[in-house]
Amino acid sequence: MSTWVLLTITGLGLGAMYFLIASGLSLIYGLMGVLNFAHGAFITVGAYASWYAQGKLGGIDSVPLRFVVAAIVGLAVGGMIAILTELVLIRPLYQRHIEQVLVTVGLGLALTALVAGIWTQTQQVYLTPTWLTETTGVFGASIPNDRFVEIAAAVVVLVGLLAFFRYTRYGLIVRAGVENRAMVMALGIDVRKAFTLVFALGGLAAALAGILSGVYFGGIDPARGTHLLIYAFIVVVIGGLGSILGSAAAAVIVGLTQQYANYYASSGVGDIAVILLLAAVLLVRPGGLSGAVAAH
Amino acid sequence: MKGLLEVEGLDVFLGGSHVLKGVSFAVLEGGVTALLGRNGVGKTTTIRAIMGLSDRHGRIRLGDADLTRERTDRIVRRGVGYVPEDRDVFTTLTVAENLRLAERNGSARYDLVYDLFPELRQRGGQRAGTLSGGQQQMLAIARALLNENRLLLIDEPTKGLAPLLVTEVAKALEKAAEITTVLLVEQNLGVVHRIADQVVVLDVGRVVHTGPAKEFLANPGLVHRYLGVSGAEAA
């Protein structure tokens, strides 16, 4: 029982990070038709900006406070990189999807190489508040506290996104734009502002995932973003392109599948199980769990 | 005569085909101008080109404003409303959300649209995707009427509708024509006869006739030549 609880909560923590990355990817594709391969770089850059800020904030004695302030810096940098990517690289290539894919692949590779060039491939250790590295007993299982933070962060982002879509005009524009971008423009709305906003939200969520991954894995390295991005793409496809709730459900399924398969079968089987799951969903329900392209 | 909308030498290429070949016409201020022609002659392409939804060459003016290089959203904000051929309501949004999305400048005319289409008020919380074709058409027209526009571009509003709904939509178009200028693409010549003041007739991507609607419809030879139907069907 305690093993199952540990695997489940750890799987949910992993799924939470997948969701944070996949939500941005899914929205960007749903609204703009852009497969953003630079999203992994947003994760890496956000994580490294936070780690770098930790080193520069030595004047803050309180570790939790330093962690939070550094995380805010990481989020801001992740959001800014995403906005600049949209404005400088994606916007001039509007409707030219092949070129957009190429430029995002190039940017992802370049930023990852830049980070590795400056700080080497060596894993950098995160300064983490003590409480996050401790454990809490749940039904006899000792659960690392960071898992709860990762799950809570994903839930807050999910609820925040759903509230944004439901109660704000820009949320309405994004939902409509996912369905029919040209008609949104034909109502007199500058849909490009929604593009920038969605990129910014995606960048923030990706940077948050990067920061939390530093806690989850005990450190960060330049390949972290690329590694997580692969699973996030799988989550987006399983959940249904453009669907936030679909991504949330798929992230939970993928995270749990990986954990259970790695433990109950053999270490490494989790990745194969996820690929098989992806293949099964594509065969049975090609539109993903949501079955439709919609930001709901 | 100077028109509210002036189109000069409009060329559009789609997928390697030269669809519009130097289309020129003017839409006079007030009333309804019907854009007519057989299927595939370029009526919808003309409307989409005016809206900036297709790449185009030529000159398009609305009053003193040059729309030729404007983005679609800016064209709309200059006072051009658009009802597309396939309605294009947002099926995952509710009726109320579809209307809210169309609001501009905080002066939405809900009284007008609910007076014309009271059903839309009752169905405010219903997803637009679950509406019938006729109800979706009403919503598409309501979206365009919600704001004060100088010109409405309405593309085949009665397409696929039952006769009773055609009458209802025609009434709404008459009301729209009372408050703004309308450029209407319409295959139903009964509706054209009822509401159009002027016609612009296209054939294979070129304007082949312009003039008063009644004169055109009263000429069976012209109607048969350019629309492929007998003049009696227009009466």
A107-131 pLDDT, tens digit per residue, is 999 999 999 999 999 999 988 999 9
* Closest Cα in chain A, distance from residue B31 (Å): 22
- Per CB-CB distance under 8 Å, the chain B contacts of A179 are 90-93
As given in the structure block, the two tokens for residue B26 are: 């003017």
| Alpha carbons A79 and B184: distance in angstroms, whole number | 45
Question: What is the DSSP-derived secondary structure letter of residue B184?
Answer: E
- The angle at the Cα of B102, spanning B77 to B10, to the nearest 5 degrees, equals 45
pLDDT in tens, B134-193: 999 999 999 999 999 999 999 999 998 888 889 888 988 998 999 999 999 999 999 999
- The angle at the Cα of A84, spanning A82 to A86, to the nearest 5 degrees, equals 70
- Per CB-CB distance under 8 Å, the chain B contacts of A184 are 101
pLDDT in tens, A68-90: 999 999 999 999 999 999 999 99
pLDDT means over runs of 10, chain B (235 residues): 89 93 95 95 96 95 94 96 95 96 88 93 96 93 94 94 88 90 94 95 96 94 87 52
| Alpha carbons A239 and A37: distance in angstroms, whole number | 18
- Can you give the pLDDT at residue A293? 44
For residue A273, give Cα distances in angstroms to A10, A258, A279, B142: 17, 7, 10, 51
Ramachandran bin of B156, using left for φ above 0, alpha for ψ from -120 to 50, beta for the remaining angles:
left
B71 touches chain A (CB under 8 A): yes
- Can you give the pLDDT at residue A130? 92
B96 touches chain A (CB under 8 A): no
Q: Is the pLDDT reported for residue A138 higher than 80? A: yes
User: Taking the alpha carbons of A192, B4, B143, B132 in that order, is the dihedral positive or negative?
Assistant: negative
| Alpha carbons A170 and B128: distance in angstroms, whole number | 19
CB contact under 8 A, A186 and B76: yes
Outline where DSSP puts E strands in B42-92. 57-62, 65-66, 80-83
Residue in A closest to B141 by C-alpha: A187
pTM of the model: 0.85
Number of CB atoms found within 10 A of residue A268's CB: 10
Residue in A closest to B81 by C-alpha: A187
- Can you give the pLDDT at residue A296? 45
| Alpha carbons A58 and B48: distance in angstroms, whole number | 60
User: 């309804």: which residue's tokens?
Assistant: B32
Query: Given B76, B91, B92, which is nearest A187 (Cβ)?
Result: B76
As given in the structure block, the two tokens for residue B98 are: 């579809």
As given in the structure block, the two tokens for residue A148 are: 């709860």
- Per CB-CB distance under 8 Å, the chain A contacts of B53 are 182, 185-186
For residue B40, give Cα distances in angstroms to B14, B17, B19, B45, B187: 12, 12, 9, 9, 12
* Closest Cα in chain A, distance from residue B78 (Å): 9
CB contact under 8 A, A179 and B90: yes
CB contact under 8 A, B101 and A184: yes
